[in-house]
Amino acid sequence: MSYTMFSAFEFKRKDTYIHNLDPRTKMFMTLIFMTVALLFTSIVPLLITFIATLIPVLLAKSVKEWLSSLKGTTMLLVFILVINSFVRDLNFAVAMVLRLIVLITAFSAFFLTTHPDDLAQALIQMKVPFDFAFALSMATRYVPTLAREAQTIMDAQMSRGLELQRGGLTQKIRNLIPLIIPLIVNSVRRAMSIAESLESRAFGAIKKRTYLYQLKLTKGDFLFLCFLIMYFVTMIYLKFYFPFTTWMEWKLPL
């Protein structure tokens, strides 16, 4: 599950409309979809939002990676469906599953199409402190790397006879120790190597920095921003003002 889940958050270089958008535009996109998903608790508006989040995924030609992310969270989605069905009802459970899928899709569309360096540059131009922007850029760069490394360690340990699914819950937790310890050791080594590399380059010594390029919004960005704003205003109107909201509370037939 580790790598298939995080592969949807690893940048893939492609020449598409979404890839060429400014990172700030894609940040706004993610924020809009996340806000709308959290506003509603009924099926139909969340289904509409899900369809809307699919648009950037399709434009970015990243359907395969998106499906991998859903495959990696299958057990979590099933767990949410079952638990909420018992605690509330089936309609609420389906709505919560849709909400999670929307969030995964929105973040996948962002990270799959945004290079970590462009993300850092966008944050800096938004007056975010350089140290924070650099740390976030490093995190987005190395999380997929750690996921791949975890998958490699898992395959190596299983080839040596480790049975991850053997025994009860306690035994399964113990089976993870041969995976976690090598992963922690390798992560510490990588962190030390990065720290030494940064120190050798006098990281933090320069207070006023210059940059090779500056990000600029293009006509494509403004067009996509208009679409996002119209979508957001429409959903807010349906939520609070339009009588059509009674239909928006549609439920599954039982």
Instruction: List, for residues 35-78, the tens digit of each pLDDT value.
Output: 999 988 888 888 999 999 999 999 988 888 888 878 777 888 88
For residue 132, being part of any structural domain is answered with: no
Report, as an integer, the average pLDDT of 124-139: 82
Q: For residue 101, what are the domain limits?
A: 2-114+217-248
pLDDT > 90: percent of the chain: 21
Q: Quick check: 168 and 160 in contact, CB under 8 A?
A: no
Tokens coding 112: 């799959």
Domain count, the chain: 1
Report, as an integer, the average pLDDT of 195-209: 74
CA distances from 233 to 38, 39, 163 (A): 15, 13, 52
- Specify the pTM: 0.76
CA atoms within 13 A on the CB side of 130: 9
CA distances from 68 to 1, 115, 169 (A): 10, 20, 26
Q: Residue 152 burial by CB count (10 A; 0-12/13-18/19+): exposed, middle or buried? A: middle
Which of 67, 57, 64 minimizes the C-alpha distance to 29? 57
For residue 137, being part of any structural domain is answered with: no
pLDDT at 195 over 70: yes
Which of 63, 40, 43 minimizes the C-alpha distance to 53? 63
- Confidence (pLDDT) at 246: 44
Three-state DSSP at 130 gives helix
CA angle 40, 46, 49 (to 5 degrees): 115
